[in-house]
Amino acid sequence: MSTVKEQLIENLIEDDQISQRKITIVGAGAVGMSCAICILLKDLTDELALVDVVEDKLKGEMMDLQHGSLFFHTPKIISGKDYSVSANSKLIIITAGARQQKGETRLSLVQRNVNIMKSIIPALVHHSPDCKMIIVSNPVDILTYVVWKLSGLPATRVIGSGCNLDSARFRYLIGEKLGVHPISCHAWIIGEHGDSSVPLWSGVNVAGVALKTLDPKLGTDSDTDQWKNIHRQVVESAYEVIKMKGYTSWAVGLSVTDLVASILKNLRKVHPVSTLVKDLYGIKEEIFLSIPCILGQNGVSDIVKVHLNNEEKALFTKSADTLWNVQKDLVF
């Protein structure tokens, strides 16, 4: 006797099992799952794979998302501890790693997370040799360098989430001060995603009006309006959120999804993401820092040659030195 399915449906052609826009997220913690739900709600993938070492939690997260399938348009959500579930990924997002503790700097996390990267990157590349990777785990700039070295992929296909979130926080706070939506406040933070990040006050503008032309002291110690405090708030914001809720997640997930959309849709939008900056701005070492990059289907296709004033260039060099002093002693 035929089944209900056989009575209802007559198959005409063999189904194509190969996904065209598969995304794998490695790490099913708060950040990984924030990325997952944002990506699903934006309909950016036709298959989402989740990978984690904690199997019960991983399966629970997968089931929870599957049960919401009516409300988005991703037909396949899978998970597994084995990296074979990531096979044929167009994009792999790395959020796995030791979590930043209350009061802990991103740089102090480094060796713990380097060891984790050594255990996961080769297997991921084996199963998806043509993928692009977005690194989210902290300290993101150093780990992006580590993943680049471990993966053997071109530097243009290994992208650190970098200062995309710092710049979003910067624009939000500028907008709050001006009473303007952050989408209309144009401002960039480059360098380290961390304490030595560099605010480009010279480029801050609304509707093409550079704020520096209204007040040349903007962002300096002698600025009576104390705009410099906005950058301090950006630097301290993650520590504040971690202090209050234990971790950051939502803004990170939204920021990463912004990058995913630019890559998978080949939008060629400009983002401040962490990329190889050797031979740029006088930097001689192989380090990754955030600069404005054009993102498309091949990863970082171009960089925007931003003119830095003397102070900004000095701060960028200092940011590079901060990272190099840690990176040069890494063992991997």
- Summarize pLDDT for 179-194 with one digit per residue, the tens: 999 999 999 999 999 8
pLDDT tens digits along 134-177: 999 999 999 999 999 999 999 999 999 999 999 999 999 999 99
- The answer on pLDDT for 246 being more than 80 is yes
Angstrom distance (rounded) from CA 272 to CA 198: 11
231 belongs to the catalytic site: no
Name residues whose C-beta falls within 8 Å of residue 39's C-beta, 6 or more positions apart in sequence: 23, 25, 45, 48, 257, 260
Name residues whose C-beta falls within 8 Å of residue 171's C-beta, 6 or more positions apart in sequence: 182, 183, 185, 186, 187
CA distance readout (Å), 169 to 77, 157, 176, 185, 187: 31, 25, 11, 11, 10
pLDDT tens digits along 19-35: 999 999 999 999 999 99
pLDDT tens digits along 59-85: 999 999 999 999 999 999 999 999 999
Cβ-contact 106, 65 below 8 angstroms = no
Catalytic residue among 73, 127, 193, 271: 193
Q: Cβ of 325: how many Cβ atoms within 10 Å?
A: 10
pLDDT tens digits along 80-100: 999 999 999 999 999 998 877
User: What pLDDT is stored for residue 295 in this prediction?
Assistant: 98
> What DSSP string describes 42-99?
TT--SEEEEE-S-HHHHHHHHHHHHTTGGGS----EEEESSGGGGTT-SEEEE--SPP
- Reduced to 3 states, what is the DSSP secondary structure of residue 255? helix
Angstrom distance (rounded) from CA 200 to CA 207: 17
Cβ-contact 253, 134 below 8 angstroms = no
Phi-psi region of 208 (alpha: psi -120 to 50; beta: other; left: phi over 0): left
Chain CA centroid to CA 26, Å:
13
- The answer on pLDDT for 12 being more than 90 is yes
Q: In percent, how much of the chain has pLDDT > 70? A: 100
The residue assigned the tokens 């995913």 is 260
Angstrom distance (rounded) from CA 162 to CA 189: 10
Q: Is the bond into 139 cis (omega within 30 degrees of 0)?
A: yes
pLDDT tens digits along 197-206: 999 999 999 9
Cβ-contact 23, 39 below 8 angstroms = yes
Q: Provide the residue type at 198 as one letter.
A: V
Number of H helices, E strands in the chain: 10, 14
Q: Round to the nearest angstrom and report the end-to-end CA distance of the chain.
A: 60
